[in-house]
């Protein structure tokens, strides 16, 4: 299979409008939750990204009927599911695969699902998921690279999460909504996509209250029914474009967002001198002068998202003064910093902290995406840099950003996706951008 890379000629300021797609991490939960109903479920605003395609293939593989109504709408019917074993090679590479355990366990009281993959950003244990399933009455073991969960009966329980895990919260919520009686999840994650998955389950007849607060209360139901649902906009895609404009400079209207979900990002941008105007369902980012330093600590929602940390570190590396970025969620999330240094950034890493001395500008270089969000950060760096940058391993980026290069071109960025093995395409790009 051909490998692709992005070629970028930096230095253009960005202008115009960009429209944000549906939230990838909500979509992963919602697509899986949809198989719990025995009637068709129509889901709109699904992002057109690789992780979603892998998950749709996986549910089709166990008998769900999946109809693509258009690029962002899909109809799923879980009535004919005939298998609870999910073990394709592709599914091992994505994180959202673990939701199949909660959904299948809730509906069929058994599941055998390949252990989740996802970005290599830390050890990413799943002990909280397992604890939750066990407290609902399931027996859970891990063998031959799979999670094996089964129960005679699931019974609601009072579950306290040791850390507010996004995945564990959604997984337990799914299993509990078809358990007998009442479940309370204490210390749950509160990310917008937790609320979105809960709203979706409720639209299918589940009884979930309190998603987005410190305790989620679920009363189990016997069955779920069909529904029509539209996924919320992607907070991280929106944030990535906000920081892209802040780094490259310009004036861009970012449409189809929920400004409330972007508050931690907007607050940091405003703090360092970037203008952000909020409207009902869009934000406008204007950067016409050099920005200044800030200290940032990643935290569970509503704190600053770990999925925006690489993009923020990149921006601060171009801002005046000394910034400190502390990563508290995942232990290995500074992999991209070596490549940023090659572009001229002055960053020192000590443990989970980046000490950043802002430089006036970056210079283009050959870099490689180590994971999804760090890949996006390197694209931002390339757009802000003088000269040409190539970013390879972009399959990581395509897992979570739909038509990334098209959207960037739409606001004036010079970027092209080319076959990494084809030197003629590289030469053509160089000639075209001058
Ligand atoms: C999800 C997102 C990911 C995002 C992350 C944090 C998806 C598919 N992925 O990942 O993009 O970066 O939330 O916002 O939605 N933990 C445990 N035990 C567990 C589960 C988690 O100790 O059983 C720890 C993790 O190591 C990490 C923290 O809890 O330090 C948060 O992880 P979690 O919220 O579960 O992240 P994911 O669901 O993997």
Q: Are 61 and 86 in contact (CB under 8 A)?
A: yes
- E runs forming strands in 220-299: 227-230, 250-255, 275-278, 282-287, 295-297
> What is the mean pLDDT of the segment spanning 266-290?
97
pLDDT digits (tens, 9 = 90+) for 227-254: 999 999 999 999 999 999 999 999 999 9
Q: Which of 119, 163, 177, 274 is catalytic?
A: 119
Alpha helices, DSSP H, located in 69-162: 99-108, 127-135
Atom of ligand 1 nearest to the CA of 301: 14
Q: Are 427 and 408 in contact (CB under 8 A)?
A: no
Give, as one character, the DSSP assignment of residue 298: B
- Taking the centre of ligand 1 as the mean of its atom positions, its distance from the CA of residue 49, in whole angstroms, is 20
Instruction: Output the CA–CA distances (angstroms, integers) from residue 26 to 68, 194, 197, 330, in the order listed.
Output: 18, 7, 6, 20
Percent of the chain at pLDDT > 90 equals 88
Atom of ligand 1 nearest to the CA of 372: 11
Q: Are 355 and 348 in contact (CB under 8 A)?
A: yes
- Taking the centre of ligand 1 as the mean of its atom positions, its distance from the CA of residue 297, in whole angstroms, is 16
Q: pTM of the entire structure?
A: 0.96
Please tell me the predicted confidence (pLDDT) of residue 165: 96
Protein residue with its CA nearest to atom 9 in ligand 1: 25
pLDDT band for position 119 (cuts 50, 70, 90): low
Higher pLDDT, 427 or 68: 68
Q: Is 119 a catalytic residue?
A: yes
pLDDT digits (tens, 9 = 90+) for 323-332: 999 999 998 8
Please tell me the predicted confidence (pLDDT) of residue 122: 67
Mutate to test the pocket of ligand 1, among 124, 307, 326 (most ligand atoms within 8 A of CB): 124
> Residue 179 corresponds to which tokens in the numbers above?
């358990």
The partner residues of 319 in beta bridges, in order of sequence, read none
């Amino acid at each position: 299979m051909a490998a692709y890379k992005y070629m970028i000629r930096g230095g253009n300021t960005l202008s115009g409008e960009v429209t944000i797609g549906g939230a990838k991490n909500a979509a992963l939960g919602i697509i899986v939750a949809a198989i719990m109903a025995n009637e068709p479920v129509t889901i709109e605003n699904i992002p057109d990204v690789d992780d979603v395609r892998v998950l749709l293939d996986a549910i089709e593989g166990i008998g769900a009927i999946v109809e693509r109504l258009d690029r962002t709408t899909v109809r799923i019917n879980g009535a004919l599911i005939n298998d609870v074993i999910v073990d394709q090679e592709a599914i091992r590479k994505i994180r959202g695969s673990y939701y199949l355990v909660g959904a299948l366990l809730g509906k069929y009281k058994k599941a055998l699902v390949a252990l989740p993959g996802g970005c290599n950003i830390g050890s990413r244990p799943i002990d909280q998921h397992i604890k939750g399933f066990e407290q609902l009455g399931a027996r859970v073991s891990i063998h031959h690279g799979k999670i094996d969960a089964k129960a005679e009966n699931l019974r609601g329980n009072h579950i306290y999460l040791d850390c507010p895990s996004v995945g564990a919260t959604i997984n337990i919520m799914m299993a509990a909504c078809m358990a007998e009686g009442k479940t309370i999840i204490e210390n749950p994650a509160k990310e917008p996509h937790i609320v979105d998955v809960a709203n979706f389950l409720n639209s299918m007849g589940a009884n979930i209250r309190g998603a987005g607060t410190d305790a989620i209360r679920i009363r189990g139901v016997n069955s779920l029914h069909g529904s029509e649902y539209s996924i919320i906009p992607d907070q991280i895609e929106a944030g990535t474009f906000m920081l892209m404009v802040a780094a490259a400079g310009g004036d861009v209207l970012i449409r189809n967002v929920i400004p409330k979900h972007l508050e931690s990002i907007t607050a940091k941008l405003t703090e360092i001198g970037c203008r952000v105007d909020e409207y009902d369902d869009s934000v406008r980012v204007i950067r016409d002068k050099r920005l200044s330093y800030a200290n940032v600590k990643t935290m569970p929602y509503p704190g600053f998202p770990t999925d925006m940390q690489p993009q923020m570190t990149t921006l601060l590396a171009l801002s005046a003064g000394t910034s400190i970025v502390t990563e508290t969620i995942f232990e290995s999330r500074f992999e991209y910093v070596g490549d940023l240094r090659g572009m001229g950034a002055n960053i020192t890493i000590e443990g989970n902290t980046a000490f950043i001395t802002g430089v006036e500008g970056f210079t283009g270089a050959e870099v490689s995406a180590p994971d999804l969000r760090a890949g996006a950060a390197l694209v931002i760096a390339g757009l802000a840099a003088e000269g040409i940058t190539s970013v390879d391993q972009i399959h990581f980026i395509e897992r979570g950003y739909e038509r990334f290069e098209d959207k960037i071109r739409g606001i004036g960025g010079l970027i092209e996706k080319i076959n990494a093995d084809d030197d003629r395409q590289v030469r053509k790009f160089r000639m075209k951008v001058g």
